[in-house]
Structure 1
């Protein structure tokens, strides 16, 4: 059914329209009495052998949905009903932002991949809290947080701390996104000094809470070896719980898509 009907319909739309259509459909299903139960019966697989305990959190299975799909936490309950072991919402920024001008997401059919330069489009902290206030017992929810594009790098720590403090009671873990295009320049954001300026206030706030929330650092796959060494040292020397590796890449080597097509698309992160 998916290959013959659903996929052709979705691929007839632009990527962002297809994305919005799927989110809308999931939300509608969630409004129907028994809708999420039906999704679980049709798609979710439960077995003790799939369970994992990481960072003191028990996951039903190790396959989760990464940040970027449900940026505002609109459909995390319906997505969990599809069988994901966890849902990571975001990237969330303190204030709403529209992201980059369209078109900003491109299919590479020959490589079964996409290039995107959305630019952390989301509806902001307050709207995300509105969605995450909904009951989610038994659903592991992570929050991917980032600074607003307009926030200068020297003020980034305040954006991250505001998000962390206000989302703390609604999330099971946090991912600190320092590899976000436009708002995060890797030459600046991947330095030890900058990373610790962001992480240290989060560690300080967490120490004063009754509940422990693991903190992960999301990094770029395009880092040179010396930066990888620096981040490894941070992981070993601080209370940082883990690394989310990795974001999309700016590398274009080894693709089947023609160089002419790639040049027309321009910048953006490659994934798929």
Structure 2
């Protein structure tokens, strides 16, 4: 009940102010009032045991500042970030917009974060014992031809502190970032990161799986190329998908909101994200690890993801709108069906 009223109060505030207050609350003692039981429905993937298959997507807690409270929401795993080597302010405000009539959010945050060194310290001192992913990116001022330097820098700093690393090359809010998904730039970037992963594994005696987060705005041919390269170079999984720059003609919110630049998440993303998931599963084969995210607002949305071949799912906008009740609903449905995949 307290969690419900707190969420409704935050939803009455400007979007980014509400988000910042939620992070502060979850990072402190107030988080005790929103705790929820973690339902056990374990999934083994990439050599990791996930207590249940419902995780928090990157972008909610960029800096690892709220691990204390997020660990009590019932998630099977958390993903923090996107983090970059140097702190950066992100894009100009306002940059976060609610589309309440569509159960959606538009954001153009632009990788605003406190830098990898801050995140490392937060994780070290958090006491968090659950499954953790860290999402890494490049600084806005780093040219694409030097992007690999930023990714391997973050990987080296973070990989011993987490269970897996996510390579974010699909955010629409950093200029030219998505160009790293194309052709030789993609191959060169992934090859450099893979080399660093293997080198760190030898030095630190810890192999940290790496997954690649992709855009829902790629066509089938582009996806086939990307999936093949991800597999051939030896990456460990794929996250489908980031936000979309498309604006479906089914949106009901005010035109001024719909026309805001940035990535669209929430319910209107579901169909496009699901199509990408379907294609990626076909290209990747039956057993390649896939995390699904995008448009999950209720347990039926989650069911669709699993039916299309997801091994794990992540929520963000759904968590903002529905709170930890959504996590409970999805896991209860899975438990009643006694399966994680069809």
TM over 0.5: yes
> Which runs of 5 or more residues in structure 2 are unaligned?
267-342
What TM-score do the two structures reach when normalised by structure 2?
A: 0.72
Q: Does 1:62 align with 2:49?
A: no
**2:262 corresponding residue in structure 1:** 268
Once the two structures are overlaid, the 10-residue window that deviates more, 205-214 or 172-181, is 205-214
Give the whole-Å Cα distance in 1 for the aligned partners of 2:65 and 2:3: 26
Give the whole-Å Cα distance in 2 for the aligned partners of 1:4 and 1:73: 24
Q: Does 1:87 align with 2:78?
A: yes
Matches within 5 A, 1:186-265: 188-208=179-199, 209=201, 210-253=205-248, 254-263=250-259
Greater relative contact order (CA < 8 Å, ≥ 6 in sequence): 2
1:45 Cα deviation from its structure 2 partner: 2.9
Give the whole-Å Cα distance in 2 for the aligned partners of 1:187 and 1:202: 17
**1:44 corresponding residue in structure 2:** 37
* Count of residue pairs brought into register by the alignment: 261
What TM-score do the two structures reach when normalised by structure 1?
A: 0.89
Query: How well do the aligned residues superpose, as a CA RMSD in angstroms?
Result: 2.0
**1:25 corresponding residue in structure 2:** 25
What per-residue deviation string (whole Å, max 9, x for no partner) do you get for residues 113-157 of structure 1?
111101110000111111011254631111100000111011100
For 1:127, what is the secondary structure of its paired residue? helix
Contact 2:38 2:75 in 1 (8 A): no
Task: Identify the match of residue 139 of structure 1 among 105, 108, 130.
Answer: 130
Cα–Cα, structure 1 residues 137 and 188, in superposed 2: closer, same or farther, change >3 Å? closer
Matches within 5 A, 1:162-201: 162-183=153-174, 185=176, 188-201=179-192
1:194 Cα deviation from its structure 2 partner: 1.3
For 1:74, what is the secondary structure of its paired residue? coil
Give the whole-Å Cα distance in 2 for the aligned partners of 1:68 and 1:81: 18
Give the whole-Å Cα distance in 1 for the aligned partners of 2:134 and 2:257: 35
> Which runs of 5 or more residues in structure 1 are unaligned?
none
**1:5 corresponding residue in structure 2:** 5
For 2:28, what is the secondary structure of its paired residue? helix
Cα–Cα, structure 1 residues 230 and 258, in superposed 2: closer, same or farther, change >3 Å? same
